[in-house]
């Protein structure tokens, strides 16, 4: 017991020395309700890995608070909470040295929800995901379309965020990265991002799902349709989808298939990558979504390549099946939006914080197949899929 006490004392002394050696600053602000009226007796709590303990304060009758002696070299989490209101956490705050950093809060009652949806209007399938979100959420929603102009979009999001939305939903990597930089005091749920790890979407108030996934299930369906399939190809930008390709390679290997993955960073390299695959013994091509590499013309090149080679083209959504893909077995864009709505509701219910949910890919699967491609490629659809409970879409998992 003495040893434990000594170790604990030493740890406390080390923390105290760290705090004493670090420059300090102050944090102050104003807390109001949804109508802008000040709220007294709101508990302000500052935590975080570098906070060296927990710092607390409370607002006065004018809704004002101040904390002093906060570390300035660390990212802090500041929470405002009071009985009868939904708490709000500002994540990643950095206090300025020898000055007062300001952070205001607007608290709403439980059950009063307002959301901001941010998406890139240049990517057509983001709109399909937004429709899935709107069909499922049942709460007031404000939409912000990004233009692709970084400074303008950042300004628009900062202006919108002054309304202190209960949650921000970001569709696509551009929207998610922007929300990570500009939104710190509301939960951010992202969807259809390229790589949450590379894009640093692991901060306290963020959670969501990537755009590519379900590789195990897609390959299983491929092998059911084409039992002799042995070699799979894909093209990807290693700056953004190296992690997804690693997952795809592991899924293919687990089911006895080889993956030929060709890197490409632009349209010119895409053409060269397809040419390098022309003489390879391929059975299928799995199309990875990347709006920065593949536009409509890029997909058409891949489709023509698959058609000319007589191979299966696995695509991520029925909309791609309609324009020449062989089959899709995945959540689809509408479901990705609906899944984001379920994550938001889960957070609103108090069942979990964004950091608890982290990154998760939807588990629902829908099967869509192009009958013309099935006939042309001589694929075999299991008889039980055409009727009854054997169809993979009827085995969708949640």
Are 125 and 166 contained in the same domain? yes
Q: 264 and 382 share a domain?
A: yes
**52 & 134 share domain:** no
Interatomic CA distance for residues 223 and 107, integer angstroms: 53
Q: For the chain, what is the mean pLDDT?
A: 87
Is the pLDDT assigned to residue 237 strictly greater than 70? yes
Q: Please, is 203 exposed, middle or buried when counting C-beta atoms within 10 Å of its C-beta (0-12, 13-18, 19+)?
A: middle
Residues 221 and 205 in one domain: no
| % of the chain with per-residue pLDDT over 90 | 61
- In angstroms, the CA 331 to CA 350 distance is 26
What dihedral angle (degrees, nearest 10) is formed by the CA atoms of 208, 212, 213, 216? 180
Q: Which of 197, 141, 206, 215 is nearest to 178 (CA)?
A: 206
Give the range among 42-51, 304-313, 369-378, 387-396 with minimum mean pLDDT: 387-396
Shared-domain flag, residues 180 and 256:
no
- CA–CA distances in Å: residue 353 to residues 89, 207, 208: 10, 9, 12
Given a contact cutoff of 8 angstroms between Cβ atoms, the answer to whether 358 and 197 are in contact is no
Contact yes or no for 339/331 (Cβ under 8 A): yes
- What are the φ/ψ torsions at residue 331 (nearest 5 degrees)? -65, -40
What CATH number has the domain bearing residue 33?
A: 2.60.40.10
pLDDT at 387: 58
Q: Which residues are paired to 115 by β-bridges?
A: 141, 167
- Same domain flag for 239 and 194: no
Q: pLDDT tens digits for 180-234?
A: 988 877 889 999 999 998 898 887 789 999 999 999 999 999 999 998 899 999 9
Is the model's pLDDT at 239 over the cut of 60?
Answer: yes
d(CA 330, CA 129): 14
Per residue in 347-367, pLDDT (tens digit) is 887 777 788 888 999 999 999
**Residue 193 φ/ψ, nearest 5 degrees:** -90, 160
Q: Round to whole Å and give the CA distance between 77 and 121.
A: 32
222 touches 205 (CB < 8 A): no
Crossing angle of helices 150-161/173-182, nearest 10°?
Answer: 50
DSSP-based three-state secondary structure for 383: helix
Pick the more confident residue, 131 or 14.
131
Q: Identify whether residues 267 and 370 lie together within a single domain.
A: yes
CA distance 177 to 180: 5
Sheet holding 55-58, edge to edge: 55-58, 43-47, 76-81, 88-93
Task: Look at residue 148 in the predicted model and tell me its pLDDT.
Answer: 87
- Average pLDDT on 26-33 reads 92
Residue 326's pLDDT band (boundaries 50, 70, 90)? very high
How many structural domains comprise the chain? 3
pLDDT recorded at residue 118: 97
Q: How far is CA 103 from CA 48, 184, 342, in A?
A: 16, 11, 30
Tell whether 247 and 305 lie within a shared domain.
yes
Q: Are 336 and 360 in contact (CB under 8 A)?
A: no
Q: How confident is the model at residue 280 (pLDDT cuts 50, 70, 90)?
A: very high
CA dihedral 373, 375, 378, 383 (to 10 degrees): 110
CATH of the domain at 292: 3.40.50.2300
34 pLDDT band, cuts 50/70/90, is confident
Buried b (16+ CB within 10 A) or exposed e, 4-40: eeeeeeeeeeeeeeebeebeebbbbbbbbbeeeeebe
Same domain, 308 and 191: no
- Paired sense of beta strands 76-81 and 43-47, if any: antiparallel
| CA 66-72-77 angle, 5° bins | 65
Nearest to 97 by CA among 65, 66, 71: 71
**Arithmetic mean of pLDDT, 321-333:** 96
- Closest to 214 (Cα-Cα) out of 241, 171, 182, 248: 248
Of 106, 123, 148, the last residue of a domain is: 106
For residue 160, which phi and psi values (nearest 5 degrees)? -65, -40
Query: 73 and 180: one domain?
Result: no
Say yes or no: 66 and 190 in one domain.
Answer: no
- Write phi, then psi, for 276 (nearest 5 degrees): -70, -20
The pLDDT assigned to 386 comes to: 66
Q: For residue 13, what pLDDT band results from cuts at 50, 70 and 90?
A: very low
Structural domain boundaries, residue 266: 215-330+365-395
């Amino acid at each position: 017991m003495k040893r434990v006490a000594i170790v604990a004392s030493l740890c406390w002394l080390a923390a105290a020395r760290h705090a004493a050696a670090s420059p300090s600053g102050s944090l102050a602000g104003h807390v109001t309700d949804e109508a802008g009226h000040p709220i007294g007796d709101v508990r302000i709590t500052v935590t975080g890995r570098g906070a060296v303990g927990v710092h607390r304060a409370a607002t006065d009758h004018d809704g004002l608070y101040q904390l002093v002696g906060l570390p300035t070299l660390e990212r802090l989490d500041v929470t405002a909470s009071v009985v009868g209101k939904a708490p709000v956490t500002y994540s990643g705050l950095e206090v300025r040295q020898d000055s007062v950093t300001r952070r205001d809060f607007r608290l709403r009652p439980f059950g009063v929800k307002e959301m901001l949806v941010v998406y890139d209007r240049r990517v057509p399938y983001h709109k399909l995901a937004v429709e899935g979100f709107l069909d499922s959420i049942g709460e007031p929603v404000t939409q912000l379309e990004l233009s692709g102009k970084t400074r303008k979009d950042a300004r628009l999001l900062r202006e919108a965020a002054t309304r202190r939305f209960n949650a921000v939903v970001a569709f696509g990597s551009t929207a998610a990265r922007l929300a990570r930089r500009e939104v710190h005091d509301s939960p951010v749920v992202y969807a259809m991002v390229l790589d949450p790890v590379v894009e640093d979407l692991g901060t306290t108030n963020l959670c969501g799902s990537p755009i590519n996934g379900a590789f195990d299930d897609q390959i299983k369906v491929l092998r059911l349709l084409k039992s002799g399939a042995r070699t799979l190809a894909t093209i990807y930008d290693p700056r953004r989808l190296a992690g997804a390709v690693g997952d795809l390679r592991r899924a293919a290997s687990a089911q006895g298939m080889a993956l030929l993955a060709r890197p490409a960073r632009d349209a010119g390299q895409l053409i060269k990558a397809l040419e390098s695959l022309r003489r390879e013994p391929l059975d299928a091509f799995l199309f990875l979504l990347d709006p920065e590499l593949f536009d409509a013309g890029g997909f058409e090149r891949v489709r023509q390549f698959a058609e000319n080679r007589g191979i299966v083209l696995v695509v991520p959504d029925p909309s791609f099946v309609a324009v020449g893909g062989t089959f899709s077995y995945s959540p689809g864009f509408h479901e990705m939006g609906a899944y984001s709505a379920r994550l938001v509701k889960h957070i609103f219910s108090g069942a979990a914080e964004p950091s608890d949910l982290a990154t998760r890919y939807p588990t629902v699967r829908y099967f869509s197949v192009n009958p013309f491609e099935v006939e042309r490629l001589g694929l075999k659809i299991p008889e039980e899929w055409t009727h009854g409970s054997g169809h993979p879409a009827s085995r969708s998992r949640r």
